[in-house]
């Protein structure tokens, strides 16, 4: 037993040493790219078999939960397996801006501070009943009800007039939601206390993008909706497929929704099975599935096993998220609910943070351990947002020389092996990182090694990577624990990139970085001038540059969402311009995966 442990440690150490040997101490690349290039779509060839069945895999080690309603779902796997029926109300363009032509259109009025949602006249639930204004309105009731079990209710929704009173139980209706043509009508007008440019982007949090089948669930108390049979056994959808059968936690099967508003779905049926991460690569090797659904597909570590599969093409797109390092530069004042900077923080010195970022070997790490599917992130706006990501940003490429100079200039002099604080005290930095796969352990060891190289005594919090709950307990504490000076985490932005996580009162600004300039820049991104897109883009760029320069949060890595797509599939795409209607467009040309 002891021997095997030593052997494992040896392998890990060897990998790190080899990696370090590959690096030359500096990197010239300014715009990193993933080593692996994948197309965003696979259009396929041949004639679609209208009687075909799409066989998709949901790669996950846990059974899905069986919630069919986006308002109540709090995990990705339920959204994935019920995807063929769950369609958003609004189509988008390639930059996630709302676009007419979907199940509903949406129009913003700056003058009236309203959003008007107009449903298609032929939009129907899978039982043939029409989708009405009440169905749109009721979704807000489900979200905002004081007894609701939904985790989706947000501060943005409270910008709807009357929502706070409804949420607190002081009112039985939401006064700011109007149905001009009555409950059975097709129009909903939502009145806001203020409107901003993010409201024209999908995923903004001010607009709920799904409807609830009011007539179907009106007799179920909202509190009990999640466990009701209406929600779990007989749900209604207005997407291209209707649910035929759900095997709890394992699979869903679908048939064409005869009442679908658009062109009928290209496949006769769809089945989605949960496949374990350990078996996913084998499943595709034996041609069991056409593609994976959702963001989390086959693990990147399994990519070498499926990269050259015959009859499959790997399709991918940048994930709308990134890994980052967060420095504990302050704390959250629990009384005011605002973050406050601490001058006494061990990582309060900007040069120290910048030096640590320059010492990181992220390019090589991503190439080596990410199997070419990841890349170094250069800003806190992911490159997937081509409209707002600053392509000129360099981020923090490896530069040991610069890192040493920054520390020397800031007064962090070496005494023996390690550097001391500018006032001559011992400096030990504690790094909190979450336990993940083997390659992540190696990545963390590599970072430690790099920081040691510039003379910084960095140690893992508790001496090892942390279990998820313990990790979040530590970094979400209003006052950071003494043994956490900085941490590594990941952030998913959603489809609207306003950096809400970094505002002064954001609870997930876990490093507690606050500055007037940061607040101003974030506000500028969504002020009234920002309705002009060039202005908004400039503000996004300024914010990215400012945050990079402050290095309180250092962008670390980005990766791809990807899947092998079988060659019998037609019209597969990750394009945001087709996301909402993608399931209707997918088709297959033969009865089984090739």
Size of the site for other proteins (CB under 8 A): 59
248 vs 311 by CB, closer to other proteins = 248
Rounded to whole angstroms, the maximal C-alpha distance in the chain is 78
Kindly tell me which residue out of 149, 338, 527, 589 binds other proteins, with binding defined by CB under 8 A: 149
Q: Which is nearer to other proteins, 119 or 275 (CB)?
A: 275
Q: Are 328 and 353 in contact (CB under 8 A)?
A: no
Q: Is 449 left (phi over 0), alpha (psi -120 to 50) or beta?
A: alpha
Q: Pick the closer one to other proteins by CB: 3 or 425.
A: 3
What is the three-class DSSP state of 185? coil
What SS3 state is found at 349? coil
Cα dist. 113→146, 208, 211, 523, 549 in Å? 26, 16, 22, 18, 36
Task: Rule CB under 8 A: say whether 433 interacts with other proteins.
Answer: no
Residue 250 CB, shortest distance to other proteins, in Å, is 4
Q: Is 152 in the site for other proteins (CB under 8 A)?
A: yes
Distance from the Cα of residue 186 to its chain's centroid = 32
Closest separation in Å from C-beta 335 to other proteins: 15
Binding to other proteins (CB under 8 A) within 219-248 occurs at 226-227, 232, 245, 247-248
Q: Please identify, using beta-carbon distances, which residue of 172 and 229 lies nearer to other proteins.
A: 229
| Nearest Cα to Cα of residue 380 among 517, 491, 516 | 491
Closer Cβ to other proteins, 95 or 251, answer by number:
251
Residue 409 interacts with other proteins (CB under 8 A)?
A: no
**Helices vs. strands in the chain: H and E counts, helices first:** 16, 26
H-state helical runs in 125-192? 133-144, 163-167
Q: Mark the segment that binds other proteins (CB under 8 A) among 102-110, 146-154, 412-420, 524-532.
A: 146-154
Choice from 16, 67, 265, 403 touching other proteins (CB under 8 A): 67
Q: Does the footprint of other proteins cover residue 467 (CB under 8 A)? A: yes
DSSP label of 351? H
- 339 is an interface residue for other proteins by CB under 8 A: no
Q: Does 65 bind other proteins (CB under 8 A)?
A: yes
Dist CA 389 CA 410 (whole Å): 31
- Report the Cα 537 to chain-centroid distance in Å: 21
Residue 546 in the binding site for other proteins (CB under 8 A): no
What does the alpha-carbon distance between residue 247 and residue 80 come to, in Å, rounded to a whole number? 15
Q: Name which of 153 and 303 has its Cβ closer to other proteins.
A: 153
| Contact between 310 and 287 (Cβ < 8 Å) | no
Q: What are phi and psi of 361, to 5 degrees?
A: -100, 45
End-to-end CA distance of the chain: 44
Assess 326 for contact with other proteins (CB under 8 A). Answer: no
**Taking CB under 8 A as the rule, which mask of x and - marks residues 480-509 in contact with other proteins?**
------------xxx-x---xx-----xx-
Restricting to residues 243-302, which ones interact with other proteins according to CB under 8 A? Answer: 245, 247-253, 271-276, 278-279, 282-283, 285-286, 288
Tokens standing for residue 494: 């959603």
Does residue 310 bind other proteins (CB under 8 A)?
no
Least separation in angstroms between CB 496 and other proteins: 7
CB of 246 to other proteins, least distance (A): 9
Specify the residue, 65 or 452, whose C-beta has the smaller distance to other proteins. 65
Q: Which residues contact 362 (CB under 8 A, 6 or more apart)?
A: 376, 396, 398, 556, 557
Q: CA 361, CA 376: separation in Å to the nearest integer? A: 9
Residue 311 within binding range of other proteins, rule CB under 8 A:
no
Binding-residue pattern over the window 24 to 63 for other proteins, x denoting contact by CB under 8 A: ------------------------------------xxxx
**Residues 480 and 490: beta-carbon distance below 8 Å:** no
Beta carbon of residue 510, minimum distance to other proteins (angstroms, whole number): 9
Determine if 66 is a binding residue for other proteins (CB under 8 A).
yes
- Bridge partners for 330 per DSSP: 341
CA distance 206 to 203: 8
**Residues within the interface to other proteins (CB under 8 A):** 60-63, 65-67, 72, 74, 146-147, 149, 151-156, 203, 205, 226-227, 232, 245, 247-253, 271-276, 278-279, 282-283, 285-286, 288, 467-470, 472-473, 476, 492-494, 496, 500-501, 507-508
């Amino acid at each position: 037993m002891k021997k095997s442990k030593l052997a494992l440690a040896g392998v890990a150490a060897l990998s790190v040493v080899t990696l370090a040997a590959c690096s030359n101490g500096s990197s010239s690349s300014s715009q990193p790219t993933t080593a692996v290039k994948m197309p965003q779509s696979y259009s396929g060839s041949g004639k679609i078999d209208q009687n075909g069945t799409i066989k998709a895999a949901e790669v996950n080690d846990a059974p899905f939960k069986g919630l069919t309603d986006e308002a109540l779902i709090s995990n990705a796997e339920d959204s994935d397996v019920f995807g063929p029926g769950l369609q958003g109300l609004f189509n988008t363009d390639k930059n996630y801006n709302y676009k007419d032509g979907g199940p509903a259109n949406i129009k913003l009025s700056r003058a009236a501070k309203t959003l008007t949602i107009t449903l298609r006249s032929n939009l129907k639930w899978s039982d043939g009943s029409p989708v009405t204004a009440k169905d749109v309105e009721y979704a807000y009731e489900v979200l905002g009800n004081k007894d609701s079990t939904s985790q989706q209710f947000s501060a943005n929704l409270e910008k709807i007039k009357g929502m706070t009173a409804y949420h607190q139980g002081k009112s039985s209706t939401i006064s700011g939601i109007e149905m001009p043509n009555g409950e059975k009508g097709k129009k909903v007008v939502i009145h806001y206390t203020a409107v901003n440019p993010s409201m024209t982007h999908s995923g903004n949090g001010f607009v709920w993008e799904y409807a609830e089948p009011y007539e179907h669930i009106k007799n179920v108390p909202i509190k009990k909706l999640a466990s009701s049979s209406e929600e779990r056994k007989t749900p209604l959808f207005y997407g291209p497929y209707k649910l035929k059968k759900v095997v709890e936690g394992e699979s869903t099967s679908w048939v064409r929704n005869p009442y679908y508003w658009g062109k009928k779905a290209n496949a006769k049926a769809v089945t989605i099975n949960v496949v374990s991460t350990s078996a996913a690569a084998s499943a595709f090797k034996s041609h069991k599935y056409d593609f994976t659904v959702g963001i989390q597909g086959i693990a990147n570590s399994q990519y070498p096993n499926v990269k050259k599969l015959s009859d499959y093409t790997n399709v991918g797109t940048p994930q709308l998220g990134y890994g980052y390092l967060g420095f504990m530069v302050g704390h959250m004042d629990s009384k005011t609910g605002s973050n406050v900077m601490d001058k006494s923080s061990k990582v309060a010195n900007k040069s120290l943070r910048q030096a640590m970022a320059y010492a990181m070997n992220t390019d090589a790490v991503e190439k080596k351990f990410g199997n070419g599917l990841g890349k170094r992130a250069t800003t806190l706006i992911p490159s997937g947002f081509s409209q707002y990501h600053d392509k000129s940003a360099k981020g923090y490429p490896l530069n040991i020389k610069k890192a040493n100079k920054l520390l020397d200039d800031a007064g962090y002099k070496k005494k023996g092996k390690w550097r001391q604080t500018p006032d001559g005290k011992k400096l030990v930095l504690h790094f909190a990182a979450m336990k993940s796969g083997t390659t992540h352990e190696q990545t963390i060891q590599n970072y430690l090694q790099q920081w040691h190289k510039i003379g910084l005594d960095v140690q893992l919090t508790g001496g090892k990577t942390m279990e998820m709950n313990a990790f979040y307990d530590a970094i979400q504490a209003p006052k950071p624990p003494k043994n956490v000076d900085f941490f590594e985490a990941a952030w998913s932005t959603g489809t609207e990139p306003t950096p809400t996580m970094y505002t002064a009162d954001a609870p997930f600004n876990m490093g507690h970085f606050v500055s007037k300039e940061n607040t101003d820049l974030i506000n500028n991104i969504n002020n009234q001038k920002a309705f002009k897109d060039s202005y908004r883009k400039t503000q996004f760029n300024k914010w990215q540059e400012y945050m990079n320069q402050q290095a309180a949060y250092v962008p670390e890595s980005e990766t791809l969402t990807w899947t092998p797509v079988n060659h019998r599939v037609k019209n597969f795409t990750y394009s945001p311009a087709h996301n909402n209607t993608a399931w209707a467009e997918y088709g297959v040309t033969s009865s089984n995966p090739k």
